[in-house]
Structure 1
Amino acid sequence: MATVNTEGNGPGHVGADAGPRCPHLDGYAPLSPGQLANPYPMWAHARATAPVFYDERLGMWSVTRYQDVVGVLRDPETFSSAEAFALRQPRLPEELATRIPPGFWRPRMLVAHDPPEHTKLRRLAQKAFTRERVAALEPFIRSTCHQLVDRFPERGEVDLMVAYANALPLKVITSILGFEADEGPDLRQWTEDFLVMATPARDGEDDDVADAQIVGRIERMVAMTERCAALVEERRQAPRDDVISALVQAADTGDVQVAPYDLVTLALELVIAGNDTTANLISHMVHYLLEDRPLWEQLLADRTLVPAAVEETLRRRGSSKGLFRRATADVTIGEAQVRSGDILHVLFASANHDEALFTDPERFDLYREKVGEHVGFGRFRHSCLGAPLARLEGRVALEVLLERIPGLEPVPEQHLEYAPTLTTQTLLHYRVSVPRFRETP
């Protein structure tokens, strides 16, 4: 049985007082296959009966109602991002343990900082996603979408998640950051490894000793960290027109003071911001539109509805389930007595289904009122840096599919499988049936 981590080595770390917390939610098992595939009924039950509840196994509170979620995000002094995020730290083989760089287990990412450090690092990270840089990418994104469709079989099945939804943002983010084009698959695997390791151990897992799968994940993560550190040094010696060069230059000239390893962490955080969010947006959007065929037909007839489809997907199944916060003082949220040092899982995805704001939340509605109030990208100072790029890629990716493969169909009776994470809704596969499609214009 996995236990709550009270040594500060994982997201479930709580304060020194680890006494009982309540209320609880019977049946909550967010890493079970059933709730990974469809967490919404359980969250609806929570909103109705225990909107802020404690899970002893994960060692954290879950916040499920829209107003409570926004309230926590609006109050960073009481609900801090610092020390609220860490990776699982199992015991490793000695050879691998000696390669672990400083800060590996508690990465100094934007999501784990408060001002003034957060302000400083975010200003640096925004160089990757300026409005001008993002807008200038549209022709490249569109041509990349067409190239990916060209590789689909003329007839038959294709895994849209792998061949399109993952492939597109990886091509974009590797290009703008400065990685080599063929490093996309490794960066995608690193993203999955990182998100899984940022999730507390499940029942039946021993978090003290790493099994072969966990060792493999950490080996890949260390290798990618070493690769990124080498790339930072390469760009320091020979800058190019890419974001990593801009980050290095800004840090070296004193525009923003950061520790050397923080540049590596920040670059890899931008990898996550630039690929996982978008990949899940694209696949889930196509899934909902194809499952309810009249919606797909509406978009074929009226492409001006594409932005609405993007926003409704972000609400209906946003890529982020939520992020962690740490209480800096004893505080009451509804009936929950949260203690200083407690960790809260702030569930954006549950808030986006709150019936108090979104009528019939399970329905995918292209004309939904207040859809712009969703928190699919978070809110306030920790809103997702990659949101403008994700929206652009999602829109263009859907437009190209509508144009090239209007007869696209979902493979029937397929089981949608998700990576075992608390922070993202990472879909592993989504298979579609491809009829003859139109040639590249």
Structure 2
Amino acid sequence: AYRVSKILTTSWTDEDVPSIEVAARELEAYCSDLIADRRRSPKDDFISEYVASVDQDANLSAMEAIMQLVSIVIGGTDTTRAAIVIQTGLLLERADLWEALRKDENLIVPAVAEALRVEPAVASIPRLVVRDIELDQHFIASGSVLLLSTMSALRDPEAFPDPERFDLYRERPRWHPVYGDGPHRCLGQALAQLELEEALRALVGSRHRLLPTGQQLNVHGHAGIRQVDELEARWT
């Protein structure tokens, strides 16, 4: 999944394409085998329920059923890995908020939401233009690829007053914009959300205390999945 998702960043070159294509075929085959296994021998798990639903509804092709599962795997791995580092770094830089989280686990959900807003792991969402669009005196031709900036949207002062401030108590929309919207909203959202919240809960709930080392959080990239430099912390 990590090798495949590199195509969603700005860090790959032509030399990386063969490796990415091999990884994509391997991930596709892995998900195809999982579906076939659960179809033969259902278990009490998500994939078995998913396969049963796909077979009952009969509205997805075999490849579409596989790619839905691929999307969940990718959505719950590389983007989440980056987001865990980002939210940890952002909160360690704010000692008062870290201490508040240690005292009140109810703040974990809004802390994750605010970290995703301030420094999203996904900088933009790609969309293929299926018909000509005129927008604010600009013409966008059918067949163009658009990168819709989540970073810009999440700091829109009309939607988020005082957008530069990290605020656990700000009003938020019910559905976090970082996951996109409409029929193409991120399929891995629920999995990613659980992973982010449980990771933070484990860190703040440890009997040891996590402290920053003074190293600054460095997140870079404006297209696709953003890159996060290594972040050091220490336990007491």
Q: Which residue of 2 aligns with 1:434?
A: 235
State the one-letter code of the partner of 2:53: A
Matched, 1:422 2:223: yes
Cα drift, residue 240 of structure 1: 1.9
Matched, 1:350 2:152: yes
Cα distance in 1 for residues equivalent to 2:142 and 2:3: 31
Matched, 1:319 2:136: no
Contact 1:195/1:423 (CA < 8 Å) preserved in 2? Answer: no
In structure 2, which of residues 164, 174, 178 is the aligned counterpart of residue 362 of structure 1? Answer: 164
In structure 2, which of residues 7, 10, 19 is the aligned counterpart of residue 216 of structure 1? Answer: 19
Q: Hey, which bits of structure 1, 4+ residues long, moved more than 6 A?
A: none
Q: Deviations over 1:231-288 (max 9, x none)?
A: 3222232222223333333344x42233223332221111022333433333222111
Q: Which residue of 1 aligns with 2:80?
A: 278
In structure 1, which of residues 411, 414, 420 is the aligned counterpart of residue 213 of structure 2? Answer: 411
Structure-2 change in CA distance of 1:200 and 1:305 (3 Å):
closer
- The residue matched to 2:139 in structure 1 has which SS? strand
State the one-letter code of the partner of 1:300: R
Identity of aligned residues (%): 30
Q: Which residue of 1 aligns with 2:46?
A: 243
Cα distance in 2 for residues equivalent to 1:287 and 1:371: 24
Q: Which residue of 2 aligns with 1:300?
A: 102
Which of structures 1 and 2 has the bigger CA Rg?
1
Contact 2:117/2:178 (CA < 8 Å) preserved in 1? Answer: yes
Unaligned runs of 5+ in 2: none
Structure-2 change in CA distance of 1:285 and 1:198 (3 Å):
closer
- The residue matched to 1:346 in structure 2 has which SS? strand
Alignment of 1:108-147 (within 5 A): none
Contact 1:312/1:371 (CA < 8 Å) preserved in 2? Answer: no
State the one-letter code of the partner of 2:5: L
Structure-2 change in CA distance of 1:244 and 1:215 (3 Å):
same
Unaligned runs of 5+ in 1: 1-189, 436-441
Cα distance in 2 for residues equivalent to 1:294 and 1:276: 29
Structure-2 change in CA distance of 1:410 and 1:314 (3 Å):
same
Q: Deviations over 1:154-182 (max 9, x none)?
A: xxxxxxxxxxxxxxxxxxxxxxxxxxxxx
- The residue matched to 2:179 in structure 1 has which SS? coil
Cα distance in 1 for residues equivalent to 2:27 and 2:175: 36
Structure-2 change in CA distance of 1:421 and 1:223 (3 Å):
farther
Contact 1:417/1:429 (CA < 8 Å) preserved in 2? Answer: no
Contact 1:198/1:421 (CA < 8 Å) preserved in 2? Answer: no
